[in-house]
Structure 1
């Protein structure tokens, strides 16, 4: 396999591995197969065009056209010209479908159902990120900056999941980026020639230097550095103050003995209630303990909506003071 082909495959895999952080947001998560298929078409188009025209512009243009045609055939087939080419009707329908997907994102709690609008946003977003990664890593031969689109994709998933994706998705996304860097590193080393082995050098018989065989020490060193870096990224939040609720410990937990100040935050009770009612399974959100013998008349209240402004009910404005 050539170095450019290896970079193309690594870019495709790194994008999908970073997109794995989006899987818990929507159920069923079958959209990832559609995104993988479209990305494979885009990567294949870029590979074919680069064989014919070494210039960068034709490959980028061909990949953008293939992505547009594939998305049109998948999501606006009935409105497209000859079921493939985007016309005015297809563009209008896609814009309306995207708007519906944005409304569904605000309507449903995680995990949201796999509606057509949400599927368009997910597949389209992953394809756009894949285009950027492929352009940077393969077309321009700059794999390191390609980590920025991958980071953006993971950050969106972490934000939508309510404060952070799981450690497994972090490891998967990080491994994809390291895979991309490793592919670029091997490609650069192959362009130097057999620097680490092919020359006639003095050495013991049977060794890599003495026999002229290639040495893979840089590859092994790169893997070790990558593994150590990912391990540090997972372990450091436990050791630093203020980061105990980081990637592996989502949220601060519901129990504690106090100590230390904090931020008093309020929520819109109607929005909170709406989100709670749309949860698809029961969740334990609070535990309390009491010494009362009769608990039939006890209830918990977050806020009282005691003011009506003619349009909606709101709570009274309460002054917030420091709490010991």
Structure 2
């Protein structure tokens, strides 16, 4: 079996998000700047459905096995019937939709927008959602684990919510990283989350506000390379935690994807470099595959777009590299990490 396959019928413009089904390890949604969401069976390497939008699609996710959701620059929240290819418009934001997650426990879709709100949608309800929560800044990223929702905003702000009690955030924090947040993912074990910045750093954070837990916070440099004595730094575009082992993958505009063990503070593996930046990655529900979206991310403007490679989506078979190494294995190189002080957050 080869390490990876390239999906047939990729988007024509940059990939914005790749998201696997929570129940079927072979079902994948891909949203893109070509105004589409594509639904794939990756085992068959087949595009099963395509949904056209009026503008670039920035976010997508699955609800259940047969329904997906999408949103983007046209501000409309869509429910996608993956079997019939019918589209149901659930409602609107007043600006672009940047991120979305689905709570299977609550049967609710959660959308975040540049209009400085997050909204909750019950797809079964006859009327559009009125559950709106105002925020101090534009939403850049969100992720959900169990009932904990982490919202990353502009101005390096973070809100952490218990979605069962949305009257106020459980915690508010300032990013531990000095530059704009580009990536966010919650740990599979529900203990915390990782964030990545445009300046090639990842921070590992914990929800528990106790001083003992907060002392474990740290950050490290990554997606960097020294070329002719010049330090080149690329944005960290995406993060994804493995559903079983709680290790995580990072992807950057340098075209690399690495696997990290955040507890031992070591890199376990770096895959061969792709020929373009990697804007989005996702593990599937059983942890056997990693989807890798590869496409131009506009760091070099219109000039770079003239020579950019066409977008592609790869499905990589995942092996032992995602497991926490035992002491009998060859030790990995420890990270040169920076201890973070527990400041810039409030909450109980």
- TM (norm. structure 1) is 0.24
Going by fraction, where is helix more abundant, 1 or 2? 1
Going by fraction, where is strand more abundant, 1 or 2? 2
| Bigger RCO of structures 1 and 2 (CA < 8 A, at least 6 apart) | 1
**Bigger-Rg structure (1/2):** 1
